[in-house]
Amino acid sequence: MNEMSAGLRDLRIALVGNPNCGKTALFNTLTGSRQRVANYPGVTVERKEGGFLTPAGRRVRILDLPGTYSLRARSPDEVVTRDVVLGQQAGVEPPELLVCVADATNLRLALRLVLELKRAGRPMLVALNMFDIARHREIEVDAGRLSAELGLPVVTTVAVRRGGTAALLEAIDAQASPEPGTAVWEAPDAAGLRALQREADRILAAVVRVPDRRDAVTRRLDAVLLHPVAGLVILLVVLFLMFQAVFAWAQPAMDLIDGGFQALGAAVGALLPEEGAAGLLRSFLQDGLIAGVGSVLVFLPQILVLFLFILLLEDFGYMARAAFLMDRIMGGAGLHGRAFIPLLSSFACAIPGIMSTRVIDSRRDRLATILVAPLMTCSARIPVYTLIIGAFVPDRPVGEGAWSWVGLQGLVMFGLYAAGILSALGMSFVFKRLLWRGQPTEPFMLELPDYKLPRLRNLALGLWQRAKAFLRRAGTIILSMMVVIWFLSSVPRPPEGADRPAIEYSLAYGIGQAVEPLLRPIGFNWQIGVALIPGMAAREVAVASLGTVYAVQDAEEDAAQLGQALAGKWSLATALAFLAWYVFAPQCVATLSVIRRETGGRRWMWFSFAYMLTLAYLAAFATFQAARALGAG
């Protein structure tokens, strides 16, 4: 070890700043892929932690804190930021250095936060980020003067460029091991806030020269994207394109994965005999393990395309605009305008959706959003929808000429998504009336950031994290459920010379027979009953379970041919009822447990389970009976 690094202790730092100032981009550039996403103990606020080495060899651990305008925390997210900053967060060692990230093109609110943080007496330095954009827009910031005014080290950074953090790294190296000391902070009152902002404005006038206050690109884009009518139309088109892309773009990759697993299953099947104990092993590997994992993994491409859109829109700065455009419509349903973003994320998965409701300050508004978020069509329902639509809806255009590019299958899918959205809005309206007797929603206030070109690197890192989370899920909950369902449908084995299909001797058959009377009014057969049970763990397992049940039942049929098998075995009414059931289906243990954690108790978890189960049953019942009455039975 050389002399320099010998004197440098390890350092814990945390990034704080306003929303959209580039904290996450800075975090990604500093840590590369050495990062970990977990939760703070007891709350589901995402804890992004990483590590890196400075040029001088100092080891630094870094936290990316949720964005905030003040330490006067109002949402669970901001509470975490405040507690970490003040060194009061359980399970987190207080950071030894705060890196206060400020958007150099939008310094006014950032400077007020810096002044507030400085009052709290934490060791800190200021990173003037987005310096490239500031320079491009000819916004001159005198960093030296700012440093003198604040009495803090100030560096300039470009978070999205590889060399853009050099000055920051240097400043971190120059930082003598700071003593965190005790934090003193008291929530400022209105007069205090005014005084801080006045001081910030005074400093701003001294250090910044701005030729043109507004970003020209943002101004031109907003003229269209926030246009009262055109803006709404464009938002609808964006959402529609997103869902078309999920199906069109993902198909080749899905075919590849599907083919791969089929080949693997066939290879394993060829190695082992069909009879005896080895036959049981063969069935387990082929029908249980490989078919099960394959039937879930095949949806990875669709989930990634969906997340790609969400990440793109977020990085671009469009998400806040979408919330703006949707505010009144959401408000009509009793939801907060900010609920739009969590609900949109719930299209990917209700878990991140529910977690992102923490940007909503009021507990009631938050709860309403949490309760309806699982009604948004999450990607786990895609396998179910795809299977049934593929089997029962003809693959042809909706119409001729101008309509020939809209597929009928895509349209049905869109309809299912629309049903999810409408029921979410409807239910929140009902909750608002019944549970909270029309108490007002909290004011909608949101900063609209300037548009930015999304960065490949941030997108790639974001997608990689989602993919990892999905694979972990597929590898744990889903895989174990698949093993259970295979076991139930294969044990006990049929006796020698059995004349009925093997499955009719299994435990699953017994279970299916037991629940079947309950399900008959909604058109479900016992195989569906069996599939619904492991589907409790995760919705997409229902498809794999159906596959296993039918594969074990008719040994000659491949689970991958499930769609064709169903088309022969189910009536159209049953298929439609199954789709209707899955618009509401409450079966997802992970979502329920996140609801429990987020709402701080079992009460709301059971409530949401019960109301969704009721809706699912009623919807399937109505659909089945109506379809039968119309002759689709």
Partner 1 sequence: MSFVTDAVLADPAQAEAVLDLGAAPRGFRGRIRGLRAFASGGLPAEELERRLLELGFVEGAEVELLHQGLFGRDPIAIRVDSATIALRRREAAAVLVEPAP
Ligand X SMILES: Nc1nc2c(ncn2[C@@H]2O[C@H](COP(=O)(O)OP(=O)(O)O)[C@@H](O)[C@H]2O)c(=O)[nH]1
The CA-atom distances, in angstroms, between 370 and each of 353, 504, 580, 596 are 8, 41, 21, 10
Q: How far apart are CA 265 and CA 286, in angstroms?
A: 5
335 to 354: interface string for partner 1, x by CB under 8 A:
--x-----------------
Q: Which is nearer to partner 1, 72 or 628 (CB)?
A: 72
**Contact status: 210 vs partner 1 (CB under 8 A):** yes
**By the 8 A CB rule, do 115 and 121 touch?**
no
Half-sphere exposure of 334 (CA within 13 A, CB side): 24
Phi, psi of 424 (to 5 degrees): -65, -45
Q: What x-and-dash track marks residues 104-133 binding ligand X by CB under 6 A?
A: -------------------------xx-xx
Binding flags for Mg ion, 372-401, as an x/- string (CB under 5 A): ------------------------------
> Residue 213 binds which one of partner 1, Mg ion, ligand X, none, with CB within 5 to 8 A depending on kind?
partner 1
User: Which residues 6+ apart lie within 8 Å of 284 measured at CB?
Assistant: 483, 486, 490
Distance of alpha carbon 124 from alpha carbon 150, whole angstroms: 11
Q: Quick check: 540 binds ligand X (CB under 6 A)?
A: no
Nearer to ligand X, 132 or 557 (CB): 132
DSSP of 87-124:
T--TTSPPPSEEEEEEETTSHHHHHHHHHHHHHTT--E
Cα distance between residue 414 and residue 4, in whole Å: 62
How many Cβ atoms from other residues are within 10 Å of residue 240's Cβ? 14
Minimum CB distance to partner 1, residue 447 (Å): 6
Tokens for 325, please give them: 């455009």
Give the Cα separation of 502 and 552 in Å (integer).
7
Instruction: Tell me the three state secondary structure of residue 280.
Output: helix
Q: In terms of CB distance, is 24 or 345 closer to ligand X? A: 24
Question: For residues 207, 213, 218 and 222, what is the CA-based torsion angle, rounded to 10 degrees?
Answer: 140
Q: Which of residues 53-112 bind ligand X (CB under 6 A)?
A: 67
**Nearest to partner 1 of 73, 565 (CB atom):** 73
Write the binding mask 451 to 490 for ligand X: x where contact by CB under 6 A, - elsewhere.
-x-xx--x--------------------------------
Q: Is 24 in the site for Mg ion (CB under 5 A)?
A: yes
Q: Which of 62, 150, 158, 620 binds ligand X (CB under 6 A)?
A: 158
Nearest distance from C-beta of residue 344 to ligand X, angstroms: 16
Under rule CB under 8 A, residue 462 binds partner 1: no
**Signed CA dihedral, 308, 302, 389, 504: sign only:** negative
Binders in 38-77 for partner 1, by CB under 8 A: 69-70, 72
Angstrom distance (rounded) from CA 437 to CA 191:
35
> Between residue 68 and residue 127, which ones bind partner 1 under the rule CB under 8 A?
69-70, 72, 105-109, 112
Cβ proximity to ligand X, 26 vs 413, nearer residue: 26
Report whether 131 belongs to an annotated binding site: yes
Q: Which of 629, 628, 538, 525 is nearest to 578 (CA)?
A: 525
| H-run or E-run covering 323 | helix 318-332
Which residues ranging from 504 to 533 are in contact with partner 1 (CB under 8 A)?
none
Among the candidate windows 16-24, 105-113, 323-331, 586-594, which touches Mg ion by CB under 5 A? 16-24
Q: Which contacts qualify for 531-537: CB closer than 8 Å, 24 or more apart?
A: 531/485, 532/587, 533/485, 534/481, 534/482, 534/484, 534/485, 535/585, 535/587, 536/587, 536/588, 536/589, 537/477, 537/478, 537/480, 537/481, 537/587, 537/588, 537/589
Contact with partner 1 (CB under 8 A): which of 276, 440, 510, 633? 440
Which residues from 138-197 bind partner 1, rule CB under 8 A?
Answer: 189-190, 193-194, 197
- Quote the least distance from Cβ 301 to partner 1, whole Å: 35
Residue 193 or residue 469: which is nearer to partner 1 going by CB? Answer: 193
Maximal C-alpha separation, the chain: 93
Residue number of the CB atom closest to ligand X:
22
In this chain, which of 83, 315, 327, 540 binds partner 1, going by CB under 8 A?
327
User: What count of residues does the chain have?
Assistant: 633
Span 297-326, contacts to partner 1 by CB under 8 A:
320, 323-325
Tell which positions 4-33 bind ligand X, by CB under 6 A. 17, 19-25
Give the position of tokens 């892929």: 33
What residues are designated binding site?
17-24, 28-29, 31-32, 42-46, 64-67, 129-132
What residues are designated binding site for Mg(2+)?
28-29, 31-32
Residues within the interface to partner 1 (CB under 8 A): 69-70, 72, 105-109, 112, 189-190, 193-194, 197-198, 201, 210, 213-214, 222, 226-229, 232, 320, 323-325, 327-329, 337, 362, 364, 439-449
Residues within the interface to ligand X (CB under 6 A): 17, 19-25, 67, 129-130, 132-133, 158-160, 315, 452, 454-455, 458
